[in-house]
Amino acid sequence: MSLSTALKSGDVSLLPGKRDEDWKWTDLRGLLRVLPAAAPALDLVGLAEGPFDALADERHVVAGGQPDVVIDVPADGSLAVSLRVLSRDGGALTGKVTIRVGANAKLRLLESYEGDASAYVTDTALTIRLEAGAAIERIVLAADGAEGVTVSQAQVILSPGAEYGQTVITNGARRQRIETQVTHPGAHAKLRLDGLYLLEDKRHADLTTVVLHQGVDGATDQFTRGVVRDQSRGIFQGRIVVEEGADRTDARMRHNALILSDKAEIDAKPELLIFADDVQCAHGNTIGALDEEALFYMRQRGLPETEARALLIEAFVGAVADRIGFEPVRDIARSWAAERLRA
């Protein structure tokens, strides 16, 4: 069951739904009774600049009528790429992106999901392969429309000594799932998976990750924070599997979230499945309200309540943005969060 197979066949019974354990909180089968027609071809002439275009050496677009995207960074090379997924006009869009980063090469992948106000359905599949010693920093800024349905699934394959860092930033959609699955060989490869979601109204965001540690001496560091208000719903599913023989694995997972209204909801499922003996693995998950004591202290210092709340939440979510390595993108992430928190 997947969105891509349902879109290809037009059969809504092939959509994943609440009877599928990993999709029980993002029920597409119960939501979509009819699938839209294919998105019309998008004319790229005169297209406005994307949020990361000015920072990129190459620019690629996934949109109606556009070919699949292939990005190849040769060994010892270095490249910054803007990848835009454009959902328009209530159509169905399927996109395929294949990325290879050669040995000891570096890629900065600046990815944006940009949807209009229509009821579109978009499925994007990415395959990302890092060869020995390669490095990727992937930033995902998901700015979907309130009526859009989006699924993005990335398969990441690491080689020995590779480094992969990822930060997903989103304000959700009608239904949105951003999923990352990583095959980790150990062998001193390093993995960082971060996420940040800020949801309001009836928006929904599902950040799902699966990491398979398959060899000795691997490291994973995962950190996600989120804020929900109104009737929005945030979902965090993180699973780290340490397979037999993957000794000396160091894996850590943290998820912290704030609920700012009675009708908002957060569902979290952090999992560690460990089949090796000599490992250091831990996970933490907290969901709560804003610190009223800190709020009281700030108001005593003369700050209006609205501004005090915004500052506290900015500090809370800023801990994720601060881990972005590329400073210009870090500033974009901070500004994006500040605009939504002060709206």
DSSP string, 69-137: EEEEE-TT-EEEEEEEEEE-TT-EEEEEEEEEE-TT-EEEEEEEEEE-SS--EEEEEEEEEE-TT-EEE
How many whole angstroms separate alpha carbon 78 and alpha carbon 95? 25
Q: Which residue in this structure is represented by tokens 């939504």?
A: 340
Helix (H) or strand (E) holding 256, with range, is strand 250-259
- Give the sign of the dihedral formed by CA 29, CA 35, CA 40, CA 46: negative
What letter would DSSP give residue 159? -
- Picking from 235, 179, 238, 190, the residue whose alpha carbon sits closest to that of residue 217 is 190
pLDDT, one tens digit for every residue, the chain (343 residues)? 799 999 999 999 999 999 999 999 999 999 999 999 999 999 999 899 999 999 999 999 999 999 999 999 999 999 999 999 999 999 999 999 999 999 999 999 999 999 999 999 999 999 999 999 999 999 999 999 999 999 999 999 999 999 999 999 999 999 999 999 999 999 999 999 999 999 999 999 999 999 999 999 999 999 999 999 999 999 999 999 999 999 999 999 999 999 999 999 999 999 999 999 899 999 999 999 988 888 888 888 888 888 888 889 999 999 999 999 999 999 999 999 888 877 6
What type of residue sits at position 124?
A: T
- Picking from 190, 313, 172, the residue whose alpha carbon sits closest to that of residue 236 is 172
Strand partners, 225: 196, 256
Rg of the chain over all Cα atoms, to the nearest angstrom: 20
Q: With beta carbons less than 8 A apart as the criterion, state whether 80 and 55 touch.
A: yes
